[in-house]
Structure 1
Amino acid sequence: MGLLDKIIVKLARRNEMRSRYLRKYFQSKHRIVVGMYSYGCFDADRIGADTTIGRYCSIAPTVQVLRRNHSIHAISMHPFLFNSSVPFDVKREIPYFPCIIEDDVWIGHGAIILPAVNKVGRGAVVAAGAVVTKNVPPYSIVAGNPARVIRMRFGSETIEQIESTRWWMLDENELAAKLRELGEGAFCPERIGIP
């Protein structure tokens, strides 16, 4: 990344939830797709290539989304077999494994998403320090090493009601209007119900 790019990215991060420039830059330069209003995910050292992050995601600044791993099937696991700066004629690319983090996901401090994971479902919570080794179901809360489902955020009927609103597709002005409409239901949908 050139000096001008670094300066522009640093300035754009001040408004990372709304910056279309950051989203275009990370998609074209790092193969990281980030939905609007998501934050904490504009760091190619922590978020691997071929990661797609949905809208309204909250990602702690210490989260790692790893998209490739050392090859355990080669003569060595050291990157010299794969590093283009090492003067060997035989080289291979270590493949990236795509991962989709759906809308409204919260990933806590120090969580690690390993390359075997290809989906973190909408509305899921990944607890601080979790090591995620398999896909995360929508609206679940996972914790531990390896991460496992602790509980669901809501019952199936409430999840259906939330899904029917498709609120994550709204821009911030539309969402503000929707929240006024929902009233207290936005904070406790299982008790009050969603219109």
Structure 2
Amino acid sequence: MTKLSTHPLLYGDLSERVLLEIGHDVWLGFNVVILPGCHRIGTGAIVGAGSIVTKDIPPYAIAVGNPARILRYRFPEEVCAKLLASQWWTRDCQAADAAQQRLGKDIVNALIGEGAEVL
């Protein structure tokens, strides 16, 4: 209480300071609590409302509960890998919107299909 701030970032050994990395297009539900054991929430992850996150959440995982656990992944592993490799979030909004229109609701088949270069 006698220090400039009580925030953990400003006290202790510098090597013990851990910052949280939140990937692109992450959805955190209402009242999610992220504890110091979590260092990264991967791109495209969804964390359900009221969840207590105690460890890292991989890309495109859907995690819920207390403690948060992976319920499932949003897409098959191959689709997740293609989405990450495409880095679609670095493109302008019009390009992202055009890709969304082309993919429609069938993103899995579009990305797994032979020679599909849709993003």
Per-residue CA shift, 1:90-136, capped at 9, x if unaligned? xxx42552110001111000001112211001111110000001011
Structure number with the bigger relative contact order (C-alpha 8 A, sep ≥ 6) is: 2
Compute the RMSD of aligned alpha carbons.
Answer: 1.9
After superposition, residues 45-124 of structure 1 pair within 5 angstroms as 80=1, 82-84=2-4, 93-95=10-12, 96-124=17-45
- Residue identity over aligned pairs, in percent, reads 34
Structure 1 residue ranges without an equivalent (≥5): 1-79, 86-92
Q: Secondary structure at the match of 2:62?
A: strand
* TM-score (norm: length of structure 2): 0.76
What's the offset of the Cα at 1:165? 2.7
Q: Does 1:189 align with 2:107?
A: yes
Amino acid at match of 1:108: G
Corresponding residue number in structure 2 for 1:138: 59
Structure 2 residue ranges without an equivalent (≥5): none
Number of aligned residues: 104
Distance in 2 between the 1:152 and 1:170 partners? 24
Corresponding residue number in structure 1 for 2:84: 163
The structure with the largest alpha-carbon Rg is 1
* TM-score (norm: length of structure 1): 0.48
Contact 2:59 2:80 in 1 (8 A): no
Q: Does 1:149 align with 2:70?
A: yes
Distance in 1 between the 2:45 and 2:68 partners? 12
Per-residue CA shift, 1:144-167, capped at 9, x if unaligned? 111111111111122123223321
Corresponding residue number in structure 1 for 2:50: 129
Distance in 2 between the 1:188 and 1:83 partners? 55
Distance in 2 between the 1:155 and 1:169 partners? 22
Amino acid at match of 1:193: A
Q: Which contiguous aligned blocks of 4+ residues in structure 1 show a shift greater than 4 angstroms?
A: none
Check 1:183–1:152 CA distance in 2 against 1; reply closer, same or farther (3 A cut).
closer
